[in-house]
Chain A
Amino acid sequence: MSFQLFIFYVFAIIMVFAAARVITVRNPVYAAMFLVLTFFTAAAIWMLLEAEFLAVTLVLVYVGAVMVLFLFVVMMLDINVEPLREGFVKYLPVGILVGSIMFLEMVFLLTQRYFPSENFPAPAAKPANYSNTEELGRLLYSDYLFHFEVAALILMVAIVAAIALTMRRRSDTKYQRPGLQVQVKKEDRLRVVSMDTESKS
């Protein structure tokens, strides 16, 4: 067993363990943290595949931004764990269906009957100065420009829709106008009252 394979198994074991804990652990915050661990080890495995751009982007986007917001929401909500457990039996058939479809797909791929590994030779190792960030960028902005722009447009629509769905204008909301706040002068806020000094008696 080569060193690389050993590292792969270490990461794979951690990842499977963490993924299993995401759905078995009782506390939702712990579940979110295990999901973070899953993403992180997945990034490490991608790094072993020499896909360093995708690996770093996975950490940057999913671990650094998406999961932070996720954790934010999970912490703010006062989630009671027990009602979540009650639905377990109810949703079990759906879960088994999804799981078995995934299992069948894996069987198709891994049994080598329809996708023999001769058709997919291992890619030659790239030299150390090969930058797949640069190659990805070149492909995205030349050959796949149209697909890239369509994806960007879909994301844009999603952003607009999310904002439109969640923004509610209430009549009693008070807004601050920083421009006016900055221009406030002493005369607007302060009234100097001159009065005679009081005597004791």
Chain B
Amino acid sequence: MFDGLILLIWTLIKIVLIIVPLLIAVAYFTLAERKVIGSMQVRVGPNRVGWCGLLQPFADLFKLLTKEVIVPTNSSRFLFLIAPVLSLAPAFAAWAVIPFSDQLVLADINAGLLYVLAMTSLGVYGVIIAGWASNSKYAFLGSMRSAAQIVAYEIAMGFALIGVLMLSGSLNMREIVLAQGGGIGHWFVVPLFPLAIVYFISGVAETNRAPFDVAEGESEIVAGFHVDYSGMAFAVFFLAEYANMIMISALMTIMFLGGWLSPIDGVGDGFHWFLIKTAFSMFLFLWFRATFPRYRYDQIMRLGWKVFIPVTIVWIAVVGVAVFYGVEPWFDIRDLQTAGQAALEVASGDGS
């Protein structure tokens, strides 16, 4: 009984230790976005609040907190208010299985990758419900676009991850990272390059970011699904969107960029490499937004169904053949598996 209580408290502390840095990261990600896009467009970006604009996210936050949350008449009040929560909760819940380094993980479960896929697929409910509950045509159009887009790209995303599963032989996130040991040449981004590209672009589409932001589409449907939201409810939607972007970057790091492993084999592995790689992927999101024009809707569907899915299926077949014949140096997975298991045993031996 007492042990259970201690476990509960300890888990809660760990959750806080993940959520609080995540919230701070989201806050400064918004600032980084404005700064990066500003400098790409030869502007300064926000620089008034605090030193070099470093307090800008908090100024934005307090402004949104003090605004009124308006519930439109004829809207479905309960669903309208619960929609932001529905989009935020999966964005946070998925972080439970992310291994930050060899020891730093909240829940080291066997079906970790499936869990992440399940959680990220739940995020679409917030968008759909928001669009319907607002009782507004713009919001509804936005949510319909988003639902179709997310369902389409989820398939390509799942297929891209099958390649990762075939090479790592595990659904456990920690073992996936350990299977990529042996320097930068052994990260899955090299043998699975097409899948990595498909995965990341699908991730951009899943999070409704530019150039796939037709769900918001300011120039066509005002602001899409959150057109009727204000104040804190609006802020929660943005929080979910940015948390999802960081999530996709972290997953990209774990699946394809070797997680916490250093580019040179065995030299200074650790949490800092995870941070650097995730920050790089996050920067790509901002770079895309600053440089690409928005896709037309039919082009999005064409890219998802007619380009990405065939590419992933072909590459899965290639990986299957290569693994069957054990092509050196990437596809001889028996060595990798034994190496991974040995590393796991060493790690668990150190931990206990």
Binding site for B on A (CB under 8 A): 3, 27, 29-30, 33, 36, 52-53, 56-57, 59-60, 63-65, 68-69, 71-72, 75-76, 129, 131, 133-134, 176, 178
Encode B61-92 as 1/0 by CB contact (under 8 A) with A: 00000000000000010010000000000000
CB-CB < 8 A to A33: which residues of B? 79, 129
* B-side interface mostly: helix
B140, A75: Cβ atoms closer than 8 Å: yes
CB distance from A169 to the nearest CB of B (A): 18
Measured between alpha carbons, how far is A143 from B263 in the docked complex, in Å? 42
Nearest residue in A to B120 (C-beta to C-beta)? A64
Measured between alpha carbons, how far is A30 from B82 in the docked complex, in Å? 12
A29, B132: Cβ atoms closer than 8 Å: yes
A59, B122: Cβ atoms closer than 8 Å: yes
Q: Please list the 9 inter-chain residue pairs (A to B) with the smallest Cβ-Cβ separation, ordered nearest first.
A: A64-B121, A59-B118, A131-B110, A60-B118, A56-B114, A75-B132, A56-B118, A52-B111, A72-B147
CB distance from B213 to the nearest CB of A (A): 19
Given contacts A33-B129, A60-B121, A72-B128, contact A65 B154 (CB under 8 A): yes
Confirm or deny: B125 has a beta carbon within 8 angstroms of a beta carbon on chain A: yes
Total interface residues in chain B, CB < 8 Å: 28
Measured between alpha carbons, how far is A148 from B111 in the docked complex, in Å? 21
Encode B117-139 as 1/0 by CB contact (under 8 A) with A: 11001101100110010000000
CB-CB < 8 A to B111: which residues of A? 52-53, 56, 131, 133
25 A–B contacts from the bound complex (CB under 8 Å)? A3-B4, A27-B76, A29-B79, A30-B79, A36-B125, A52-B111, A56-B114, A57-B114, A60-B114, A60-B117, A60-B118, A60-B121, A63-B118, A64-B121, A64-B154, A68-B125, A68-B147, A68-B151, A75-B144, A76-B144, A131-B110, A131-B171, A133-B111, A133-B171, A176-B298
B299, A178: Cβ atoms closer than 8 Å: yes
Confirm or deny: B13 has a beta carbon within 8 angstroms of a beta carbon on chain A: no
Confirm or deny: B115 has a beta carbon within 8 angstroms of a beta carbon on chain A: yes
A68, B128: Cβ atoms closer than 8 Å: yes
A52, B109: Cβ atoms closer than 8 Å: yes
Measured between alpha carbons, how far is A53 from B140 in the docked complex, in Å? 34
B47-62 contacts to A, CB under 8 A, are: none
Which among A64, A71, A131 has the highest number of chain B CB atoms within 10 Å? A64
CB distance from A75 to the nearest CB of B (A): 5
CB distance from B90 to the nearest CB of A (A): 10
CB-CB < 8 A to A27: which residues of B? 76
Confirm or deny: B43 has a beta carbon within 8 angstroms of a beta carbon on chain A: no
Confirm or deny: B302 has a beta carbon within 8 angstroms of a beta carbon on chain A: yes
Nearest residue in A to B348 (C-beta to C-beta)? A129
CB-CB < 8 A to B115: which residues of A? 56
Cross-chain contact of A64 among B122, B171, B302 (Cβ < 8 A): B122
Nearest residue in B to A52 (C-beta to C-beta)? B111
Measured between alpha carbons, how far is A65 from B148 in the docked complex, in Å? 10
Given contacts A3-B4, A29-B79, A133-B171, contact A71 B128 (CB under 8 A): yes
Measured between alpha carbons, how far is A57 from B151 in the docked complex, in Å? 16
CB-CB < 8 A to A53: which residues of B? 111, 114
CB-CB < 8 A to B110: which residues of A? 52, 129, 131, 133-134
CB-CB < 8 A to B298: which residues of A? 176
Nearest residue in A to B121 (C-beta to C-beta)? A64
Given contacts A33-B79, A53-B114, A178-B299, contact A63 B109 (CB under 8 A): no
B299, A72: Cβ atoms closer than 8 Å: no
CB-CB < 8 A to A30: which residues of B? 79
B122, A63: Cβ atoms closer than 8 Å: yes
Encode B140-172 as 1/0 by CB contact (under 8 A) with A: 100010011011001000000000000000010
Which among B4, B171, B302 has the highest number of chain A CB atoms within 10 Å? B171
CB-CB < 8 A to B79: which residues of A? 29-30, 33
Nearest residue in A to B124 (C-beta to C-beta)? A68
B114, A133: Cβ atoms closer than 8 Å: yes
Nearest residue in B to A63 (C-beta to C-beta)? B122
CB-CB < 8 A to A3: which residues of B? 4
CB distance from A45 to the nearest CB of B (A): 16
Measured between alpha carbons, how far is A172 from B107 in the docked complex, in Å? 56
Nearest residue in A to B169 (C-beta to C-beta)? A134
B286-306 contacts to A, CB under 8 A, are: 298-299, 302
